[in-house]
Amino acid sequence: MTIENQKPSTVSVWGGEEKPLAFGAAQVPIVQSAPFAYDNMDEWAAVALGQAQGHIYSRNTNPTVDVFEEKCRLLEGGEKAIAFASGMAAISNSLFTILRPGDRIVSVKDTYGGTSRIFLDMLPKIGVEVDLVATDDSDAIDDAISKGCKVVYLETPTNPTLKIIDLKRAIASAKKQNAITIVDNTFATPINQNPLSFGADLVVHSATKYLGGHDDAMGGILIGNHDLVQEVYEYREIAGAVLSAFSAYLLLRGMKTLDLRIQKQNATGMKVAEYLKDHPKVENVYYPGLPDHPKHDVAKRQMRGFGGMLSFSIKGDFETLKRFVGELEFVHKAASLGSVNTLIGPPSTTSHVECTPEQRAELGIPETLLRYSCGIEDADDLIAQLEKAFAQV
Ligand SMILES: *Cc1c(COP(=O)(O)O)cnc(C)c1O
């Protein structure tokens, strides 16, 4: 038996940890050392030149980080994986490695706020043409790609209105142009969706979210085609945004329960969405698991679960929203997502803080929208807290 043919719950626990660990440790040791020392100059040279296995310096590789990379690689089914200090480091290092002045990139309007900043502010400065298409318009995505491009950058489900992109269709269009497809799989997690299995070249995650799952460590990961990941590795080596051994340890500890958490969060997401859908004080619910979501059929095809992220707009104005949020207990009012604790927040202080109300309206984000990240608490308790808060507004 090999680890490759084990189920995701088994890989979450054992991936990268199949072989005996240093000192016979049963859990991955934190190797908190910047350099690695050698008695033998020839051995040192062989490792330094890549002719033998080993470590030289933790800006290149580190044994604790190695295990995190291998676990993520196995879960996404890629050829190679490298870790970063944050999700944004993974995304920016990948884009700045691959793109050159004169290149064109196609993406969608609803990418994560930090990613949008790269598209709107940074890439144009180095002479890269950026074409951002309406996220829910599959024909427009195909059209934009068919004009020719170096990279197609996708994210599904999106933040904060849970739009779904048909991965197979967009990747097929990208392949016709020999474009490299990158997919941000943070919201779905490798438990619910594997973009590489649909032909994507690269997958990125903010490991800060579901992979770690405990809101106690920042991290990012890039997984996919060996040669592309190797190129980004060489960029990372110099750019220096590496994952620390201690953060890798925390993320690994969190990942042991990845499958358990996601199964629970999938179930809670569905239950909370169904409760909100029928609530008289709710205007709209955004959740790909609901049959009336405009891309429910696509989500059903490409995802094994619909996830623990949803959003909803409440009837009233921003003052109503403020009162509603103020009444909620056992819910963090915070910017992150994907934690064991439930989190809530409006896009105006979380994902789209850098936009004006007009820009948010243009993106179809109502000012009374709340993004809700289901934790692993009891779903009925969460619903009771929402009900109590609704009664006050
Ligand atoms: C949070 C997030 C990022 C950025 O990750 P950091 O770890 O905060 O740098 C990128 N994409 C998505 C979808 C995210 O939710």
Ligand 1 atom closest to residue 207's alpha carbon, by position in its atom list:
7
DSSP states along 275-307: HHHT-TTEEEEE-TTSTTSTTHHHHHHH-SS--
Q: Which residues contact 65 (CB under 8 A, 6 or more apart)?
A: 58, 83, 242, 243, 244, 245, 248
Residue among 259, 260, 261, 284 nearest 273 (CA): 284
Q: Is 208 in the pocket of ligand 1 (CB under 6 A)?
A: yes
- Residue 37's alpha-carbon distances to 50, 62, 220, in angstroms, are 16, 13, 28
- Catalytic site residue 372? no
Residue nearest atom 8 in ligand 1 by C-alpha distance: 87
Ligand 1 atom closest to residue 89's alpha carbon, by position in its atom list:
9
- Map tokens 């990845």 to a residue: 258
Ligand 1 mutation pick, 72, 86, 88, max ligand atoms within 8 A of CB: 88
Give the amino acid at 369: L
- Map tokens 């403020």 to a residue: 322
- Catalytic site residue 125? no
- Pairing mode, if any, of strands 309-314 and 104-108? unpaired
Distance CA 106, CA 200 (A): 14
Give first-to-last CA distance, the chain, whole Å. Answer: 57
Q: How many CB atoms lie within 10 A of CB 392?
A: 10
Distance 170 CA to ligand 1 centre (A): 22
- Are 250 and 216 in contact by the 8 Å Cβ rule? The answer is yes
Give the pLDDT score at 1: 86
Q: Which tokens go with 39?
A: 């008695």
Give the pLDDT score at 221: 99
Distance CA 360, CA 355 (A): 6
Give the pLDDT score at 20: 86
Distance 113 CA to ligand 1 centre (A): 8
Q: Which stretches of the chain are DSSP H helices?
A: 8-14, 41-48, 63-76, 87-98, 113-117, 123-125, 138-146, 167-176, 189-192, 226-239, 245-255, 258-277, 296-302, 318-327, 357-362, 379-391
**Residue count (the chain):** 393
- Residue 89's alpha-carbon distances to 122, 218, 240, in angstroms, are 14, 10, 9
Residue by residue, pLDDT tens for the chain (393 residues) are 899 999 999 999 999 999 889 999 999 999 999 999 999 999 999 999 999 999 999 999 999 999 999 999 999 999 999 999 999 999 999 999 999 999 999 999 999 989 999 999 999 999 999 999 999 999 999 999 999 999 999 999 999 999 999 999 999 999 999 999 999 999 999 999 999 999 999 999 999 999 999 999 999 999 999 999 999 999 999 999 999 999 999 999 999 999 999 999 999 999 999 999 999 999 999 999 999 999 999 999 999 999 999 999 999 999 999 999 999 999 999 989 999 999 999 988 887 877 788 888 888 889 999 999 999 999 999 999 999 999 999
- Catalytic site residue 59? yes
Distance CA 140, CA 169 (A): 12
Q: Is 265 in the pocket of ligand 1 (CB under 6 A)?
A: no
Give the pLDDT score at 357: 83
Distance CA 211, CA 213 (A): 5
Give the amino acid at 320: T
Q: How many CB atoms lie within 10 A of CB 33?
A: 14
